[in-house]
Structure 1
C-alpha cells in the first residue's frame, strides 16, 4: 500500500507542477494551455485517491485541512476549465490568481500540521 500511495503522491505533485508551470509560462501571452487543465484534473483526482487511501489505513486524516485543500483544488480546476473554454477572458491577473491558488494549496499541504 505504501508503494501505491507513493506513486499517487508523485502523480499528484506532477499535476500541481504542471498547473503552476503552465500558468507562469503563459503570463506574457495570457492563455490557458491544455496541460494546465489536465494537470488540475489529475492533481484533483490523485488528491481524492490519496485521502481515500489514508482513510483506509491507520493514519489519522485532518478533515478540516482536506476540506480546505479540496475547495482550493476545485476552484483551481474550475478556473482552468473555464479559462480553456473562454481564452479571451484570460488575463495576466487570471493566471496570477491561478498560480497563487496553486501555491496556496501547496503551502497548506506542507505547512498545516
Structure 2
C-alpha cells in the first residue's frame, strides 16, 4: 500500500508541476490562454489527489480531513476555471493570475499544513 501511495503522490506532484509550469510559460506580455499543460496538469493533480486520499483512508494512515477539504475545494476551483476556459482563444490576466495563485496556494497548503501523510 505504501508503494501505491508514493506512486500517487508522485503523479499528484507531476500534475501540479505541469499546471504551474504551463501557467508560468505564458508569463510576460501577450495573450494568455489555457494550454494543454494547464488542462492536463489540473486534471492529473485533482484525480491523483482523490485517489491518494482513498488509498490513505483504506490504509492505517491518519488523514487530516480539514486539510483534504481545503485542498479539494481549491483544486476543484482550479479545475473548474481551467476547464471552463479551455476552448477560449484568450483569457484575462486576472483569470491567469487566479489559476496560478490558487495552484500555488494548493501546493503551499500541502507543504505547510502540518500533517503526517496528507
Superposed pair shares fold, TM > 0.5: yes
**Whole-angstrom CA distance in 2 between matches of 1:108 and 1:87:** 31
Deviating above 3 A after TM superposition, structure 1's stretches of 4 or more consecutive aligned residues are none
Structure 1 residue aligned with 2:72: 70
Pairwise CA distance, 1:71: 0.5
Residues matched between the structures, number: 112
Q: Is contact 2:11-2:45 (8 Å) kept?
A: yes
Pairwise CA distance, 1:107: 0.5
Structure 2 residue aligned with 1:24: 24
After superposing the two structures, state which structure 1 stretch, 20-29 or 64-73, moved more.
20-29
Deviations 1:1-60 (A, max 9, x none): 111111111110000111111111123331110121111011100000000011111111
Q: Give TM-score, length-normalised by structure 2.
A: 0.89
Unpaired stretches in structure 1, ≥5 consecutive residues: none
Q: Which has the higher helix share?
A: 1
Pairwise CA distance, 1:91: 1.6
Root-mean-square deviation (CA, aligned residues, Å) is 1.1
Query: 1:1-113, aligned counterparts within 5 Å?
Result: 1-27=1-27, 28=29, 29-88=31-90, 90-113=91-114
